[in-house]
């Protein structure tokens, strides 16, 4: 039944909320229309889902919203979703009704009481849900010139944070980050939820990679001149972590795994030290890292592709022994490089075999 479902869990873990697709409405042709080969017509509608609550304590399943466009997110004690106007039976679509039908209303349902309330009527872009607050933008007049707002649900108050916003970026530790300006010049700003503490963090950056633990990881410059920088959220502390940065694979509070502009896979500490090569000439779109393994696809000069798994015996914490972690990565890289060289020689008709260190 819920194979097309989108699942959210309640804050207390006692319930699950599932988006279920409604059945299609099919208008079957009449006898005369069948004679002339007319096929059944699917009636298009905008509210294609309904929301069910699975109560894990009472072991019950109940539909709590019957017509929605989509679920946006969950925050605090609310589940947020969008609804759209539909044409009434027999109503003909006109230019006026088309404008009305294009609007989406943002609704909130209290997951405890199931009480529904209208939050926003304007055709806005929801950027982030932070507890009982909604960060959203409005085209003013287009998608490159936005008004950035914060709506507080308990007080039903709306605060305009900034005009002429080019792009919303992130929220962290009670502050929001965004570009002001345009594509050619878009300095990075931050502000609090009240809009009273506007700070210019940095000018002319390419993009924000991650906001984590009071720090922002941003890219300055492009192509081979791209630098990955770490800056404090107030912009006062900043330093370069690495150069020739192309793509982040994983960012933690201790290490950053990334791909260079030359398609090398590397790992570096978040203070810029111990920058270590893991593999050369990889496919940057096929790198996965879990707790103790790195999976990537290595591209040879003849374009043959091999899936390689580097197994790390131990990933030590930075506080206890960061050296063990780096030595493990280096050893794992050398071991798999030896395997790869042996395979490459064998494929080209040269007798070769891999001899393990044991």
pLDDT for 92: 63
350: how many CB neighbours lie within 10 A of its CB?
A: 9
Rg (CA), the chain: 27
Assess contact for 117 and 132: CB atoms under 8 A.
no
Q: What is the pLDDT of residues 292-305, one digit of tens each?
A: 677 777 776 554 54
Residues of the chain with pLDDT under 70: 1-6, 24-45, 87-102, 122, 290-292, 300-336, 354, 356-358
Which helix (H) or strand (E) segment holds residue 32: the answer is helix 31-35
Q: Give burial (CB, 10 Å; 0-12/13-18/19+) of 272.
A: middle
DSSP 155: T
pLDDT for 332: 59
Q: For residue 284, what are the contacts with CB-CB under 8 A and spacing of at least 6?
A: 246, 247, 259, 263
Q: Is the pTM of this model over 0.85?
A: no
pLDDT for 326: 54
pLDDT for 291: 64
Which residues, listed in sequence order, are joined to residue 73 by a DSSP beta bridge?
Answer: 80
Q: Give burial (CB, 10 Å; 0-12/13-18/19+) of 248.
A: middle
Q: What is the pLDDT of residues 227-250, one digit of tens each?
A: 999 988 777 888 899 999 999 888
- The four Cα atoms 222, 168, 126, 11 give a dihedral, to 10 degrees, of 90
Of 144, 120, 139, 218, the closest CA to residue 177 belongs to 218
What are 26's two structure tokens? 């099919």
In angstroms, the CA 45 to CA 39 distance is: 19
pLDDT for 328: 57
pLDDT for 134: 87
Assess contact for 123 and 136: CB atoms under 8 A.
no
Residue 340 phi/psi, 5-degree rounding, is -65, -40
With tokens 């006109």, the residue in question is: 94
pLDDT for 200: 85
pLDDT for 119: 84
Pairing verdict, β 245-251 and 255-260: antiparallel
Q: Give burial (CB, 10 Å; 0-12/13-18/19+) of 196.
A: exposed
Report the Cα 161 to chain-centroid distance in Å.
23
């Amino acid at each position: 039944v819920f194979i097309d479902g989108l699942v959210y869990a309640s804050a207390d873990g006692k319930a699950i909320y599932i988006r279920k697709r409604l059945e299609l409405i099919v208008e079957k042709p009449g006898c005369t229309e069948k004679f002339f080969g007319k096929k059944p017509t699917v009636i298009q509608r905008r509210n294609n889902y309904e929301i069910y609550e699975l109560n894990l304590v009472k072991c019950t399943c109940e539909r709590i919203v019957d017509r929605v466009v989509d679920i946006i997110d969950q925050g605090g004690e609310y589940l947020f979703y969008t609804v759209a106007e539909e044409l009434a039976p027999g109503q003909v679509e006109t230019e006026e009704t088309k404008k009305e039908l294009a609007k989406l209303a943002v609704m909130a349902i209290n997951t405890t009481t199931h009480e529904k309330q209208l939050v926003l009527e304007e055709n806005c872009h929801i950027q982030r849900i932070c507890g009982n607050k909604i960060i959203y933008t409005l085209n003013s007049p287009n998608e490159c010139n936005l008004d950035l707002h914060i709506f507080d649900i308990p007080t039903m108050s709306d605060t305009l944070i900034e005009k002429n916003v080019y792009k919303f970026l992130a929220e962290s530790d009670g502050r929001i980050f965004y570009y002001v300006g345009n594509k050619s010049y878009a300095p990075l700003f931050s502000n609090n939820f009240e809009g009273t503490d506007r700070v210019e963090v940095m000018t002319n950056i390419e993009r924000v990679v991650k906001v984590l633990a009071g720090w922002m990881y941003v890219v300055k410059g492009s192509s081979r001149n791209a630098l990955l920088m770490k800056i404090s959220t107030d912009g006062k502390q900043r330093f370069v972590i690495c150069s020739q940065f192309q793509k982040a694979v994983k960012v933690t509070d201790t290490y950053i795994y990334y791909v260079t502009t030359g398609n090398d896979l590397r790992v570096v500490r978040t203070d810029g030290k111990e920058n270590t090569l893991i593999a050369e000439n990889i496919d940057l779109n096929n790198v996965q890292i879990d707790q103790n393994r790195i999976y990537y696809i290595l591209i040879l000069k003849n374009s043959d592709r091999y899936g390689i798994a580097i197994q790390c015996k131990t990933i030590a914490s930075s506080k206890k022994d960061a050296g063990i972690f780096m030595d493990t990565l280096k050893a794992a890289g050398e071991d798999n490089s030896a395997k790869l060289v042996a395979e490459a020689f064998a494929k080209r008709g040269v007798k070769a075999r891999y001899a393990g260190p044991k």
